[in-house]
Amino acid sequence: MSQRVLTTESGAPVADNQNSATAGAGGPILLQDQHLLEKLARFNRERIPERVVHARGSGAYGYFEVTDDVTGFTRADFLSEVGRRTETFIRFSTVADSLGGADAVRDPRGFALKFYTNEGNYDLVGNNTPVFFIKDPVKFPDFIHSQKRDPFTGRQEPDNVWDFWANSPEATHQVTWLMGDRGIPASYRHMNGFGSHTYQWTNAAGEAFFVKYHFKTNQGVRSLSAEQAAEQVGKDANSHQTDLLQAIERGVNPSWTLYVQVMPAAEAADYRFNPFDVTKVWPHADHPLQRVGRLVLDRNPDNVFAEVEQAAFSPNNFVPGIGPSPDKMLQGRLFAYADAQRYRLGINHTQLPVNAPKAATVDNYGRDGLHATRYGSRQDKNYEPNSYAGPAQTGAALASPLAVHGWTGTHEAPLHTKDDDFFQAGELYRLMSADEKDRLVANIAGGLSQVTRDDVIEKNLAHFHAADADYGKRVEEAVRALRED
C-alpha cells in the first residue's frame, strides 16, 4: 500500500512535520513557516463551547422498527407500517456536569433520539425519568445555576441545590426519582428512556391525541448504589461511554421497546390533574402502555467530536402527524434547544452530516452564513413567493390546531381537581420496597444534612412530610442523626 502524503489545509504537501523552520540551525522560528502557524492556529480553535446542560455525552447509530399498528393515532409516515425501519442516532448524557465530568454520578440522563425519516428529521429529546424538577421554563436558568458550580467556590454546593428545591415544591417528585435506586444507572444500556413531556399525535382523519413516550430497556434496568458509583468513577470516569462503545463493537446491540400512553385530546381539559405538567406522570391504570416498536443501536460513531459533540437536537423538529402540546416546559424548549446549537455550532449546523436529513431532501430559501455548504443552482432564487418554480408551502399543518383563549399575562397553569405537588412523590415512595426506601432516605439525608441553613432544611423536610408521613419522618430523623455526628 502506498504511503499517504501529509498536506496543509490548502492541500500542499508537508516536507517536515518534526522540525519548525528557523533562521539557522539554532536560530529563532520564522514567521514564514506556514505549516507551523496553520497547525498552531487550528489547534487553538479545536474546541467549541460545550453545552450548558447535557455537556457530557455518548452516542450511537441504529434503527427504529415498527412492530405494532398505530395508524389510528398518527399519520407520521415512519410509523405507518409494521416492519418499517428508520435510521436513528441517539445521544445519552448527564445533565449538570461539564464535558470532562464522570459518567457514574447521581444525575438525570439525557435520552435524545433523532429519526432520519423520509419526511424530515424528527427529534425526540427526553430523559431517563418520566418527570422533571420544574414546570415553567422561566425557572430553568435558575434551576441549572443552582445545580452547577457555584461562582465563588467553583464547586457544586449543597446549599444551592437544596435551597432551590426548598423553594420549588414541584421538584419533590423528581427529587424522589433522583435520590432513589434509579438515580445512578449502571450503564446507558440498562436504563429506560422517556419523552417526559406530553406530545400531540394526529391521525389521517385529523383526530388529535396526546401521548407520552416510554422506551423500556430490553437489557433490564440496572443501577449503582452511591458506594458502587464512587468505586466505578475511580476505576473509569468514562464507564458508560466505555460500556456502550465496547458492547456495540462486540455485536451486543442494545435495544429498547417503545410504548406510548394515549389520551384523546378532548379528555385533557377535564383530567383530574394537568396532563401537560411535566412534574407528573399519567397513571398506567388510566392510560395503559401501548407498544409501538423497537429501537436498536448497532453502530458506533467514527468520530466522537464530529458526530456526538456536534449532534444537535431540537424538540421543534417535528414531522407530519406529530406536534407539540401546551406543556409549558416543552414550549420553552422548542426555542431554547435550537438556539443553543445556533450559538455553539452556527446557523448552518443542520448541514453537518450527523444533523442533516438522510431520507429527505432539504429545499428552502436559507442561504449563506458561516459554514454554509448548500447554495442551490444559479437559477435558484432566495426569496418566496417567486415565479421561478421554487419550493412552495403545502398548506397542510403537521399537527392539529390547539384552541387558545383568555387574556395575555403571566398566568399560573389552571388548577385541575387533583393538582398537587406532592401526591405523586408519595405514590412513588409507597411503591418502593423497604430496602429501596432505606437507600432513598440515606441518599437524601446525605445531601440535605450538608446544608448550612436550618430554614432551607425545614422547607425541604416539609415537602417530604407532605408527600408521605413516613417518608418525611424518616428523612427528618436521618438528617438529624447526621447533623449530630
| Contact predicate 126/111, CB 8 Å | yes
Cα angle, residue 55 at apex, residues 294 and 340 outer, rounded to 5° = 90
The closest alpha carbon to 247, from 305, 186, 294, 308, belongs to 186
Torsion-angle region of residue 187: left (phi > 0), alpha (psi -120 to 50) or beta?
Answer: beta
How far apart, in whole angstroms, are the C-alpha atoms of residue 215 and residue 125?
12
Catalytic residue among 54, 214, 349, 463: 54
3-state SS assignment for residue 464: helix
Q: Is residue 127 flagged as an active site residue?
A: yes
Q: Is residue 54 flagged as an active site residue?
A: yes
How far apart, in whole angstroms, are the C-alpha atoms of residue 167 and residue 460?
8
Contacts of 334 (CB under 8 A, 6+ apart): 314, 315, 316, 324
| Contact predicate 189/240, CB 8 Å | no
How far apart, in whole angstroms, are the C-alpha atoms of residue 199 and residue 452?
41
Burial class (CB in 10 A: 0-12, 13-18, 19+), 207: middle
DSSP string, 339-368: HHHHHHH-TTGGGSTTTS-SSS---SS---
3-state SS assignment for residue 195: coil
Amino acid identity of 297?
A: L
Pairing mode, if any, of strands 193-194 and 208-217? antiparallel
How far apart, in whole angstroms, are the C-alpha atoms of residue 351 and residue 340?
16
The closest alpha carbon to 277, from 317, 319, 316, 331, belongs to 331
The phi and psi torsions of 39 (rounded to 5 degrees) equal -65, -45
Element holding 146 (H helix, E strand): helix 140-147
How far apart, in whole angstroms, are the C-alpha atoms of residue 291 and residue 70?
9
Query: Terminal CA-to-CA distance of the chain, rounded, Å?
Result: 70
The phi and psi torsions of 462 (rounded to 5 degrees) equal -60, -35
Across 426-439, b (16+ Cβ under 10 Å) vs e yields: bebbeebeeeebeb
Catalytic residue among 127, 192, 348, 460: 127
Write out the three cell numbers for 307: 458526530
Residues known to be catalytic = 54, 127
